[in-house]
Amino acid sequence: MLRAFIIAATIVALAWVAGGQALLGRIDPALAVPLLAPPMLLLAWWQRGRSVAARHRACLLTLALVVIIQALLGLTLAGSAAWLQLLLAIIAGGIAAWLADRIIQWRSPSKLLPWLAGFLLVVGWFGAGHALLATLYRPESASADAPAVTMLTGLPLRWSASPSIAAMIAEGTNDDPALARLAAAGPVSLVDSLADHVPPPGGTLLIAHPRALAPQELVAIDAFVRGGARAVVLADALSGWPARHPLGDPRNAPVTSLLTPLLDHWGVTLGAAPARESEPLPVDVDGARLRLFSAGRFDRLPPACRVYAGRRAAQCRIGQGEVWLVGDADLLFAPLWRPLVPGVHHLRQADTMEWLSARLWRGAGNSLLHPLWIRARTA
The last residue of one of the domains, among 136, 168, 195, is: 136
Identify whether residues 202 and 301 lie together within a single domain.
yes
pLDDT of residue 248: 62
Identify whether residues 77 and 220 lie together within a single domain.
no
Which residue stretches of the chain have pLDDT < 70? 159-173, 243-251, 378-379
Q: Is residue 107 part of a domain?
A: yes
Alpha-carbon 208 to chain mean position: 19
Identify whether residues 215 and 116 lie together within a single domain.
no
Q: Is residue 365 part of a domain?
A: no
pLDDT of residue 1: 78
- Cα distances (angstroms) measured from residue 314 to each of 84, 249, 297: 30, 32, 10
Identify whether residues 82 and 188 lie together within a single domain.
no
Q: Is residue 198 part of a domain?
A: yes
DSSP codes of every residue in 142-166: PPTTPPPEEEEE-S--SSTT-SSHH
Which candidate, 50, 69, 55, places its Cα nearest to that of 6? 69
Q: Is residue 378 part of a domain?
A: no
Identify whether residues 125 and 235 lie together within a single domain.
no
Question: Per-residue pLDDT tens for 188-220?
Answer: 999 988 877 878 878 899 999 998 889 999 999
CATH number for position 179: 3.40.50
Identify whether residues 183 and 325 lie together within a single domain.
yes
What's the rounded Cα separation, in Å, for the pair 175 and 184?
A: 12
The last residue of one of the domains, among 136, 168, 203, is: 136
Q: Is residue 367 part of a domain?
A: no
- Cα distances (angstroms) measured from residue 377 to each of 57, 77, 329: 41, 11, 21
What's the rounded Cα separation, in Å, for the pair 212 and 96?
A: 58
Identify whether residues 190 and 310 lie together within a single domain.
yes
pLDDT of residue 158: 77
Contact predicate 24/349, CB 8 Å: yes
The last residue of one of the domains, among 110, 136, 162, is: 136
Q: Is residue 144 part of a domain?
A: no
Considering just the CA atoms, what is the radius of gyration of the chain in Å? 25
Q: Is residue 318 part of a domain?
A: yes
Is residue 282 packed enough to be buried (19+ CB in 10 Å), middle (13-18) or exposed (0-12)?
Answer: buried
> Number of folded domains in the chain?
2
pLDDT of residue 28: 95
pLDDT of residue 168: 46
Identify whether residues 6 and 83 lie together within a single domain.
yes
Alpha-carbon 259 to chain mean position: 27
Q: Is residue 164 part of a domain?
A: yes
Identify whether residues 112 and 178 lie together within a single domain.
no
pTM (predicted TM-score): 0.88
What's the rounded Cα separation, in Å, for the pair 359 and 8?
A: 40
Angle formed by the axes of helices 52-77 and 37-46, nearest 10° = 140
pLDDT of residue 245: 63
pLDDT of residue 199: 84
Contact predicate 107/92, CB 8 Å: no
Identify whether residues 284 and 247 lie together within a single domain.
yes
Contact predicate 338/246, CB 8 Å: no
Identify whether residues 78 and 19 lie together within a single domain.
yes
Identify whether residues 212 and 255 lie together within a single domain.
yes
The residue range of the domain holding 244 is 149-360
Which candidate, 174, 349, 333, 350, places its Cα nearest to that of 239? 333
Question: Per-residue pLDDT tens for 74-92?
Answer: 999 999 999 999 999 999 9
pLDDT of residue 377: 75
